[in-house]
Amino acid sequence: MCGRYASSRSPEDLVEEFEVLDPRLDHVVPPSYNVAPTDEVYAVMERAKKDPDGKSVADPVRQLRVLRWGLVPSWAKDEKIGSRMINARMETVAAKPAFRKAFAARRCILPADGYFEWYETRQRTAKGKPRKQPFFITPQDGSVLAMAGLYEIWRDPTKQENDPDAFRWTCTVITTEATDQLGRIHDRMPLVVERGERDLWLDPRAPTDDLLGLLRPAQQAGLTAYPVTTAVGNVANDGPELVEPIPFEDVEETLL
């Protein structure tokens, strides 16, 4: 799974990188080197203006919005379900009730510097469980990691429709099986959207039959992985030091 990631780019950089025409930001999300479930994150999407009957009256326009990580399906009775919906499996995303409607028309890109995974080591905790060493997995060339995602809009039944907090915009990261050396760290990894596939992936009118074929496992996107401080395990910690590599020899003997 992808349960933590880093996102430090400014909205101006993301607007340029993803050719956003209509930024919809009512506030700025500060850089985070330890993005955790339920945190606010940037998402790139395309949306069309609609008439009162819900029909599109214009072509979709690319937007940058702030969403909460952890998808809340439109039919959910409680938004707390979102904390368990941070990832959607590629193998079932088109059919699973929680994700299929979003996959059909509400696809997005979640920009990241990279993501974290934890590797089980030889060492044991006081309770006999394996100690885990965090690794940061990031593009070798320093580019933005464009993680494939979905978004949903949930109506809070406890609020009036004109309340600015009546609608929750939430998202999830699509993952797939990790099969190469990165699979030694964790058996799942994000899917990414290559630059040439962004237009089709984001277009809400695109037929879904071949959309998953556009995506690439992160392992094929020129990534590098290196160990980082265990401080990233605490969501209260944040800062660029969390993504700084630590000497591999410091952890090499503990790895399985």
Catalytic amino acids? 2, 117
Taking the C-alpha atoms of residue 247 and residue 256, their distance in angstroms, rounded to an integer, is: 17
Identify the DSSP state of 105.
H
Q: For residue 233, what are the contacts with CB-CB under 8 A and spacing of at least 6? A: 118, 132, 134
> The dihedral of CA 56, 57, 61, 67: what is its sign?
negative
d(CA 121, CA 150): 33
What one-character-per-residue DSSP string does 73-100 give? -TT-S-GGGGGG-SEEETTTTTTSTTTH
CA atoms of 4 and 1, how far apart (whole Å): 9
**Any idea what DSSP says for residue 199?**
H
Rg (C-alpha) for the chain, rounded Å, is: 19
The DSSP 8-state label assigned to residue 185 in this structure reads T
Query: What is the number of other CB atoms lying within 10 angstroms of the CB of residue 112?
Result: 26
Alpha-carbon gap, residue 6 to 3, rounded angstroms: 11
CB 109 within 8 Å of CB 198: yes
Amino acid at 85: M
